[in-house]
Amino acid sequence: MPDRILLTGGTGFFGRRIADSLRGQGHTVVTPGRPDFNLMDPDSTRRTLEQVKPDTVVHSAAHYGGLGICVAEPIEIFQRNVIMGVNLLDAASKVGVKKFMTIGSACSYAGAVNGDMKESDAWSGPLHPSVEAYGFTKKVMEVGMRAYQRGCGMIAQMPIVTNLYGEHDVFGEYRSHVAAALIKKFADAVIEKKKQVVCWGTGAPVREFIYVGDAAEGVARLLASGHNEPLNLGTGIGTTIKELSEIVARLTRFEGEIVWDTSKPDGVMRKVLDVSKMAEVLDWRPPTSLEAGLAKTVKWYMENKAEADARA
């Protein structure tokens, strides 16, 4: 049965695609924003939920970014994300919301997990220092949702999402994730006729990437499933940063040299999700290959480069 859904961050990179997928399932999706809806203000948060009267809340809004912002702004990342999440959880419980979903992150996994990360690894050790502040806010929300589920019966759901990429991403180096940062770096090098592109770290870390449209489809499927434990949402396919860089170089038609600045951090050496439970619960796997998704992203970026760079 279609729900009335309040979606936070509904005009952002991931949120806009979640909104499309949920509307495709027949739901009514409301995406309020600032200044009227300020998640840092508990009164504003509750007032908006009282006006919207949602059956379900999907919390996609976040203060986030790639490795650069995680290292530079740990206080802001921790404070803003915890306050927003707690305000929203509390307001949802007070207005009778039946279901609450928070978008989780693979950053919440322990930094020293051996092999692909299973849901059962979630509390197996400390987070990697480079993403601890952001990753731990997702753990706060996991515990908070369980508390409200026990205390007032509000059903809790949490997709643990791997690295996203796609159209409408943030492409500036400071806030961008690795795929978007590389696309901008190589595209700029082609335009400026540079013979060399310098990339962070060694290129050896292994990461997993999911096209944003596929991830949004996974979120919508999880919402419909009723599964109320954290669930990995990814491809289960690992790619080194070096391999990713070479694909992006080819798609942007960069023909120069790629140089690795080993004075910059690599972060966690391997971060790939075990998606066997996802395939079982959702009866689904993401259909878009990395090369196909990156080709779509590069095309969009080149066609909208001035606007995308201005947002960075």
- For residue 304, the tally of other CB atoms under 10 A from its CB is 14
Check if 174 is active-site: no
Please tell me which residue in 109, 134, 148, 165 is annotated as part of the active site. Answer: 134
- For residue 75, the tally of other CB atoms under 10 A from its CB is 8
The C-alpha atoms of residue 285 and residue 288 are separated, in whole angstroms, by: 9
Q: For residue 73, which phi and psi values (nearest 5 degrees)?
A: -130, 50
Q: What is the CA radius of gyration of the chain?
A: 19
Q: Tell me the catalytic residues.
A: 134
